[in-house]
Amino acid sequence: MKPIKVGLLGLGTVGTGVVRIVENHQDDLHNQVGSSIEITKILVSNVNKERNIEVDRSKLTEDPWEVVRHPDIDVIIEVMGGTTDTKDYIVEALNLGKNVVTANKDLMALYGSELLEIAQRNGCDVYYEASVAGGIPIIRTLIDGFSSDRVTKIMGIVNGTTNFILTKMTQEGASYDDVLKEAQALGYAEADPTSDVEGLDAARKMTILARLGFHTAVSLDDVSVKGISSVTKEDIQYAKHLGYQLKLLGIAECDENQVSVSVQPTMVKNSHPIASVNGVFNAVLVYGEAVGETMFYGAGAGELPTATSVVADLVAVSKNIKLGISGKRVNTAYKQTVLKTDDQISSKYFLLLKVADRAGVLARITQEFANHEVSLESVLQQPNQNQTHAEIIVITHDASKAAIQNVLSSFNAIDVIHEVKSVYRVEG
């Protein structure tokens, strides 16, 4: 049988893992696909660089077009990252009738809908399982596993760097700055960690998941984003005291075809399954009208977990080629995107207030919540050695985002409230 020939754009961590798996699993791949899979050409930045894997030098090139336009290549695997140039390579490959597998979340978050349309016009596949949550098969699950159900909510930890930082802060009582330095030293965080710690990486992944789960063209601009750089040791301590864990969660919800997508530090009840997801691990919960709550957990990054997802997509694409059904998987955003207003986004909230320590303050605060129709689940005043102020913790019942914003605005006019130190969504 004619082999499936592959062009690989990128030989970094994930690219190296792809080569390892394809070379070491030929018997399994042949059994699943019905023919061998050969990596024919590989794009690298420097053909003379020493690598920790042996690769036939004749397969290496520094010219991306030599890979993309190679006449014998059936599938392009893109693991080089970036968006602008990378998009050009992918579009050219699709227009030449080549199928594409990518691990590029930025590319798919920004241009996914466009690329899928180009692929469909050319009778090609675009598979991108590895773009979200590494080795967890969440994209295939949303497309296939929930095809007969209606997804109402997707919630998860989709960034391992921030989960590592918050886990260390919780377990060791360390400060954000100290743990960030440790994460950088271990290679979990980049020298410029902005994309991770400010929630941008998670926002791109949630854009992809929301599109798939709700069949609507959610864009990155539709995602409300807040990172973890302002999380303090004090916040962590109060969360633990109250029976919560602080996690950076991506939350996408759909009610009657109205959608909201956010990324934000969230207090999660200890009894909730996602509260026990620690370190660099990821977890995604999907709620379906029929199936209820399901949870998917595993390694969210790394050479082999991510490469495993890439090769799983390669197998699926190769099967489609053999069956002559490339480009037949319909996965379009066929519903209009209608975003929820702040009045329609509802959850519990945690607030930490620094207030004057005198009689009547608590009554005035609770009255302000009542004025905006926000009911309170619990109120706790913490003793403070500084007699000039006290700290009050409030956890609300379900309240709209707009109502909470109105409460916070009203606090500005109340002289006994010195500072709103923290506000977090509460789950579980």
Question: Tokens standing for 275?
Answer: 């509260």
Residue with tokens 């209009």: 336
Task: Give the residues across from 392 on adjacent strands.
Answer: 353, 381
Catalogue the active-site residues. Answer: 205
Element (H, E) at 410: helix 401-411
Q: Which amino acid is at 377?
A: E
Residue with tokens 């016009």: 121
Distance separating alpha carbons of residues 197 and 424, to the nearest angstrom: 16
Say how many C-beta atoms besides its own lie within 10 A of residue 15's C-beta. 25
Question: Tokens standing for 306?
Answer: 């991510």
Element (H, E) at 392: strand 389-396
Question: Tokens standing for 377?
Answer: 């689940």
Residue with tokens 């992918």: 90
Per-residue buried b or exposed e for 116-128, using 16+ beta carbons within 10 Å of the residue's own CB:
bebbbebebbbbb
Decide: helix, strand or coil at residue 415. coil
Distances (CA, A) of 412 to 200, 406, 418: 30, 10, 9
183 Cβ contact list (under 8 Å, min separation 6): 161, 164, 165, 168, 189, 193
Distance separating alpha carbons of residues 241 and 238, to the nearest angstrom: 5
Distance separating alpha carbons of residues 204 and 132, to the nearest angstrom: 9
Eight-state DSSP code of residue 376? E
Question: Tokens standing for 310?
Answer: 């890439």
Q: Are 139 and 102 in contact (CB under 8 A)?
A: no
